Chain A
Amino acid sequence: MLMFGLYSAGLCLVKGLNQTNMDNRFAFGLWIFLDLTVIALGAGAFFTGFLLYILKVKELGAVINSAVVIGLVCYSGAVAALLVDVGQPLRFWFTFWYPNVHSMLTEVTFCITCYLTVLLIEYVPIVLRNRRLRQVPSFLIFEFELHKLVYVLAGVGTFLSFFHQGSLGGLFGVLRGHPFAFREGLAVWPSTFFLFVLSAAAAGPSFILLTTWLVSKISNRQLVRPEVLPLLGRISGMLMIAYVLAKTVDTLIWINHTSPGAGVPAWQYYSWKPFGTWILFAEIVAFGLIPALVLLTPRLRLRSNWLVSAAALTCIGIALNRFVMTLQTLALPTLSFDPFLSYFPSWQETGTFLGVVGFGVLVYSFSFRYLNLFPQERDLEQPEAAPVREPALAGRY
């Protein structure tokens, strides 16, 4: 998968973006949608760090290492995909040298670069705890000292993540030219800014839950104590319900105020097949409210099937939200003589995406094999020992 992906990406880089099915109307395609989705799912890294190191939710220590690796994989994959996506990747430094501080994309670029750095720095201690590397005294001491300062990194990571998750939402919320996406908000930040932060914070723990469960199934080992996954589910559920509420309010304001103000009645967006109102309900209710309610029900949370399904639905809901904001926004016509256009990714685009996934799986498996991603695993190899007592004397001694 990785090789195919590299080949596809290479084609796009060498021959040009005509290898994709993006066009002048669909300026953003599969890659941008995927970038937004994986960054939202990778939000587990910052959120778990925030909860563990700043709010001191100790139980999450079981998954923090895995979360950091997932975050690293998601963000580095997103950055790699972006470099293939832009027309002139070698000019990426222009954004830093001539930044346009009014553009949401500048904010995204700066924040994501800084955050990737933070993630790399957080990954270093995990690597240095490898048994062999630990033999080198300077690595050992460096890891120890760095870990003492991890809360600083967690704080910086939270700050950065808040802004870039939000700005990714702001990217579309500021588009006056697309009343479907345009939202008003607070000062320069449209409501989508805050909605994206909230939804990313909700998706993060769910994704961690999913991956932990998946890895546990694949490796056939118990990796975390049984109460950790329901805890993640509960956190995700709480944030999800807050998000659904906020999103409903925002949608109502948009339908009744913002969109008509731009001259477009909201029903018109949903008159274009295949994007009927079902997509709105799917996003908010089927993949939003329902998993949130499941995750908030203690009885259901304890049943693994319900928990994992609800987490999966949450992640799908977030992906659907990103899809709606990118691809549906571009598909809908703005001018009266625009047709509704459709888009389907080319094999090169799909290949590049698969390459990113392959890369992610590779890095994660490597980390899982050689590094200690799940510290609670040690405690779980056999049943918890009862307090020791003199064993019944039954033998020859």
Chain B
Amino acid sequence: MFPWNYGFHWGAVSIVFLGAFYCVLTVISTTLILALRRTYRSAAQGRADRIRWRSEFQELAARDRLCRHMLSGEFPYRECRNAFDCRRCEAHARILEKRRPAAVAETEEEVFGMAFPLDRLYHRGHTSVLPQPDGTALVELDELGRRLIGVPDQIALPQPGTRLRANGTGWRIRKREADIRVLAPVDGEVVDVSPARGGCLLVRPAEAAFDHLLTKSEVRPWLLREMERLQLALTAQGAPTLADGGVPVDDILASYPSADWDAVCSRMFLQP
């Protein structure tokens, strides 16, 4: 194997063969080392959250990745290509330009008996953002999210001062067998936390505008779709649901003791 071994010959075939072998070994180890180095660097730069979200987004089913503008009717069919980070999307920017400011007649949407006040902005991971007058924003679960979780068994909130990334980890909730990472809707820094109502953060956002969140007229179609998804998820669990538009009870979970709540919540909170 090495020139100093007994029986080694410096023939053409030997050189080609062993050369190829060493080449292959080098390529394999270089790949591994490169991956490890990049891992170390990414970890040091705190990119874990972003990477996690991107990889989890890929694993969602196609129908869970539909573009918000398809839901609100601007496209017949479109899958999101930016992992729900509308800030990076050109199509979103173009549509925002063209959008006329809607005359908002209502102050809240009511969907299936749940209230969705329209002074907030909504994230597809079922959190809502309420801008405060002092520039901070209140982030909490939306009504559907609260009903899905009911009263949590355990909440793990971040410390004040933690940096949040949009689509990264907001806080964690445990209920029965479900272990959910609630996605943070905005970039920013946590100012204050409270475990009330399933978890609630006061955040100093890093940017002023929240164009990437759902507002006003987009909320209703999105919620209708979410209810469809919830019914599909429950049906997949074998739990009977009625598709006639009844009102979801306060603790949906308790009505379905046999459903795998982990699977249903993962689906709804955008985790694979």
* Cβ–Cβ < 8 Å partners of B224 in chain A: 388, 390-391
A141–B236 Cα distance when bound, in Å, is 31
Instruction: State how many angstroms separate the Cβ of A224 from the closest Cβ of chain B.
Output: 14
Which of A146, A159, A188, A375 has the most chain B CB within a 10 Å cutoff?
A: A146
Instruction: State how many angstroms separate the Cβ of A58 from the closest Cβ of chain B.
Output: 13
Contact A149 B34 (CB under 8 A): yes
Which of A134, A140, A149, A391 has the most chain B CB within a 10 Å cutoff?
A: A140
Name the CB-closest residue of A to B42: A141
Among B5, B112, B232, point to the contact of A397 (Cβ < 8 A).
B112
What is the interface of chain A mostly: helix, strand, loop, or mixed?
helix
Residue numbers of A with Cβ under 8 A of B are 96-99, 101-102, 106-107, 110, 114, 117-118, 121, 129, 131, 134, 137-138, 140-146, 148-149, 152-153, 156, 159-160, 188, 372, 375, 378-379, 381-382, 384-385, 387-388, 390-391, 393-397
Pick out which of these stretches binds chain A: B54-62, B184-192, B199-207. B54-62
Contact A387 B76 (CB under 8 A): yes
B244 located at the interface, meaning its Cβ lies under 8 Å from any Cβ of chain A in the complex: yes
A-B contact pairs, 14 of them (CB 8 A): A98-B5, A98-B6, A101-B13, A140-B55, A142-B39, A144-B51, A145-B35, A145-B38, A146-B35, A148-B35, A149-B31, A153-B28, A391-B224, A391-B228
B18 located at the interface, meaning its Cβ lies under 8 Å from any Cβ of chain A in the complex: yes
* Cβ–Cβ < 8 Å partners of B11 in chain A: 101
Given contacts A138-B43, A145-B38, A397-B110, contact A390 B59 (CB under 8 A): no
A226–B33 Cα distance when bound, in Å, is 39
Contact A385 B63 (CB under 8 A): yes
Given contacts A145-B42, A382-B235, contact A397 B48 (CB under 8 A): no
Given contacts A118-B28, A160-B24, A372-B59, contact A98 B7 (CB under 8 A): yes
Instruction: State how many angstroms separate the Cβ of B143 from the closest Cβ of chain A.
Output: 14
Contact B18 A156 (CB under 8 A): no
Instruction: State how many angstroms separate the Cβ of B26 from the closest Cβ of chain A.
Output: 10
A148–B35 Cα distance when bound, in Å, is 9
Given contacts A101-B17, A134-B52, A140-B51, contact A378 B245 (CB under 8 A): no
Name the CB-closest residue of B to A387: B77
A148–B66 Cα distance when bound, in Å, is 25
